[in-house]
Structure 1
Amino acid sequence: MTSTPPPPISEPDPSTFTASSSHVGPCSGCQRPTHKYGSGGLPLCQWCLAAARDNWGPAVRFTSTRTQGGDGRTR
């Protein structure tokens, strides 16, 4: 399978097109703008996540570190 090289870091991750501007932040790997904060956010852009999956296998994914209280609210 041949993958295309990522675009320049100045171009945002496509996930930012559906995220509000308050949920866009830098990728933890390359600093490219990505959907990082809030529901559905991931600290890696799609290209850095692909590299992580190549290194760690397909089971790698984002795990929330937030806890949920007894009332169902995220803390």
Structure 2
Amino acid sequence: MTSAAPPVTEPDPSALTCPGDLVGPCATCQRKTHKNGRGGAPLCQWCMKPVMEQWGPQVRHVNTRP
């Protein structure tokens, strides 16, 4: 069962649980979400779902800073 994404005017649930300075737009739909999102991706949970289906759960953010 898949649920349809709510209107873009409604924030991602992650935006409701993080401090206001960490809330920013989703890179795809511009919905308010946690700036770094799950795994370091700036995508809301609805935009992240098709990406995860394409790449799989083994893909993770890698820190490139020394």
TM-score by length of 1: 0.71
Gaps of 5+ in 2: none
**What is aligned with 1:73?**
none
Change (3 A) 1:64 1:29: farther
> Aligned equivalents of 2:20 and 2:40: distance in 1?
12
Per-residue CA deviation, residues 42-67 of structure 1 (Å, 9 max, x unaligned), is: 401011111101122222333344x2
Q: Which of 1 and 2 has higher RCO (CA within 8 Å, sep 6+)?
A: 2
For residue 13 of structure 2, what is the aligned residue in structure 1?
14
What is the letter of the counterpart of residue 5 of structure 1?
A
Aligned residues: 64
Percentage identity across aligned positions? Answer: 50
| 2:24 alignment partner in structure 1 | 25
Counterpart residue type for residue 50 of structure 2: A
For 1:60 and 1:31, the matched residues in 2 are separated by: 23
Q: Which structure is higher in helix share? A: 2
- Normalised to the residue count of structure 2, the TM-score between the two structures is 0.79
Greater C-alpha Rg: 1
The CA deviation at 1:8 is 0.5
Q: 2 CA distance for matches of 1:23 and 1:41?
A: 12
